[in-house]
């Protein structure tokens, strides 16, 4: 913004943004300017936004015991007025052989289910208990990390990014290239894109999605971006 333009006070911007009804619009607002993005990421913002938009905010937690998965949802803010509560998420419907691979702030999960030696990928929305099976990626390669992101709500569209690698190999060069596959709900298929080169001395340990981009973190503490 130019210096000759009137700038809204931060408290007014905060109040307006917390009254948006769509997460898609909220994500777009993060790109308006650095200050708006900082306001949205303030610790007090999301609890108020969820109360006003009647959305649930929190984390999915999963543990494994004796080859069975145990899942739960930890709400960031249980409201006394009952507008949103952690009980609204029917996490009990998760089968104990279903592993959560990735989630996004639109409440969509990517999961994989194992039946004997067979695997099947799923996408689900726990708040509505909707499940949908997906075509599998190339599972002969070991999954390293998965990320899911919602691109639009009308029509609903999402993408899943899967990074994988072969078994342990002797380093023949400075970099190792991770395989990258992307599933697009519009095309309903996986496609392999250009691989991601990472130093042999580092490993990709996690991925996150935000603003329609995927970032991965290596154990060398270097963040990278996949548009």
The per-residue pLDDT for range 163-193, each reduced to its tens digit, is 998 765 555 667 788 899 999 999 999 999 9
77: confidence class by pLDDT, cuts 50, 70, 90 = low
* Contact between 102 and 160 (Cβ < 8 Å): yes
- Residue 205 is predicted with a pLDDT of 76
- Give tens-digit pLDDT for 115-162: 888 899 999 888 777 889 999 998 888 898 899 988 877 788 899 999
- pLDDT above 70 covers a percentage of the chain that reads 81
pLDDT at 82 over 50: no
- Residue 155 is predicted with a pLDDT of 82
Q: How far apart are alpha carbons 1 and 103 in whole angstroms?
A: 34
Helices 45-53 and 10-17: crossing angle in degrees, nearest 10, is 40
* Contact between 120 and 99 (Cβ < 8 Å): no
How many CB atoms within 10 Å of residue 168?
6
Q: How far apart are alpha carbons 35 and 7 in whole angstroms?
A: 11
- Give tens-digit pLDDT for 202-226: 777 777 777 677 877 777 655 555 5
- Residue 23 is predicted with a pLDDT of 75
- Residue 78 is predicted with a pLDDT of 53
- Residue 1 is predicted with a pLDDT of 46
- Give tens-digit pLDDT for 10-54: 999 999 998 987 777 888 888 888 888 889 888 888 888 888 877
pLDDT at 81 over 50: no
* Contact between 144 and 168 (Cβ < 8 Å): no
Query: What are 55's two structure tokens?
Result: 């959305």
* Contact between 158 and 148 (Cβ < 8 Å): yes
* Contact between 193 and 181 (Cβ < 8 Å): yes
* Contact between 100 and 111 (Cβ < 8 Å): yes
- Residue 181 is predicted with a pLDDT of 94
pLDDT at 83 over 50: no
């Amino acid at each position: 913004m130019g210096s000759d333009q009137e700038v809204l006070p931060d408290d007014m911007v905060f109040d307006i943004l917390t009254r948006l009804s769509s997460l898609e619009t909220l994500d777009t607002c993060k790109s308006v300017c650095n200050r708006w993005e900082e306001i949205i990421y303030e610790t007090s913002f999301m609890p108020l936004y969820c109360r006003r938009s009647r959305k649930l905010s929190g984390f999915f937690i999963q543990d494994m015991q004796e080859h069975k998965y145990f899942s739960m949802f930890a709400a960031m803010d249980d409201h006394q007025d009952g507008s949103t509560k952690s009980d609204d998420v029917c996490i009990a419907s998760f089968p104990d052989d279903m592993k959560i691979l990735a989630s996004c702030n639109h409440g969509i999960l990517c999961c994989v289910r194992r039946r004997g030696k067979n695997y099947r990928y799923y996408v689900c929305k726990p708040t509505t208990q909707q499940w949908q099976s997906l075509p599998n990626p190339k599972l002969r390669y070991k999954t390293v990390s998965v990320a899911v992101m919602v691109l639009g709500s009308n029509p609903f569209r999402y993408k899943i990014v899967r990074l994988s690698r072969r078994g342990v190999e002797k380093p023949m060069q400075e970099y190792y290239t991770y395989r990258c596959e992307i599933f697009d709900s519009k095309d309903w298929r996986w496609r392999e894109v250009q691989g991601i080169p990472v130093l042999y001395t580092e490993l990709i340990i996690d991925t996150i999605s935000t603003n329609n981009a995927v970032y991965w973190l290596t154990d060398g503490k270097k963040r990278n971006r996949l548009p």
